[in-house]
Amino acid sequence: MLWAQWRLVTPIIVCFLAVGGWGQAQPPDSALGADSSSEASPLVLTFQDALARARKNEPRFLSARTDFGLAHQDKVQARAALLPTLTYNSQFLYTQPNGTPSGVFIANNAVHEYLSQGNAHEVINLAGGQVHDLRRARAAEAAAKAKLEVASRGLTVTVAQTFYGLVAAQRKYATSELAFAEAERFLKLSRDLEHGGEVAHSDVIKAEIHFNDRQRGLQDARLAMENARLALAVILFPSLNQNFTTVDDVNLAPQLPSFQEAQALAAKDNPELGAASETLAAGNAEVWAARSAHFPTLSVDYWYGLDSDHLAVRNPDRTRNLGYAAAATLEVPIWSWGAMQSKVKQAELNRDRTKLELSFTRRQLAANLQSFYHEAEMSKAQLGMLQQSFELASEGLRLTTLRYQAGESTVLEVVDAQNTLAQAHDAYDDAQVRYRVAVAELQTLTGAF
Largest distance between two CA atoms of the chain: 136
CA 250, distance to chain mean position in Å, is 21
Please give the helix or strand (H or E) that residue 330 lies within, else none.
strand 323-331
Distance CA 159, CA 337 (A): 54
Check: CB of residue 413 under 8 Å from CB of residue 404.
Answer: yes
Does domain 3-22+43-57+126-296+332-446 correspond to CATH entry 3.20.20.70?
no
- CB proximity list for 397: less than 8 A, separation 6 or greater: 3, 4, 182, 414, 417, 418, 420, 421
Domain boundaries, the chain: 3-22+43-57+126-296+332-446
pLDDT per residue as tens, the chain (449 positions): 334 344 433 433 333 333 333 333 333 333 334 444 446 788 999 999 999 999 999 999 999 999 999 999 999 999 999 999 999 999 999 998 988 888 888 888 888 899 999 999 999 999 999 999 999 999 999 999 999 999 999 999 999 999 999 999 999 999 999 999 989 998 998 898 888 888 888 888 988 998 999 999 999 999 999 999 999 999 999 998 899 999 998 888 888 999 999 999 998 878 999 999 999 999 999 999 999 999 999 999 999 999 998 888 888 888 898 999 999 999 999 999 999 999 999 999 999 999 999 999 999 999 999 999 999 999 998 988 998 999 999 999 999 989 888 888 888 888 899 899 999 999 999 999 999 999 999 999 998 88
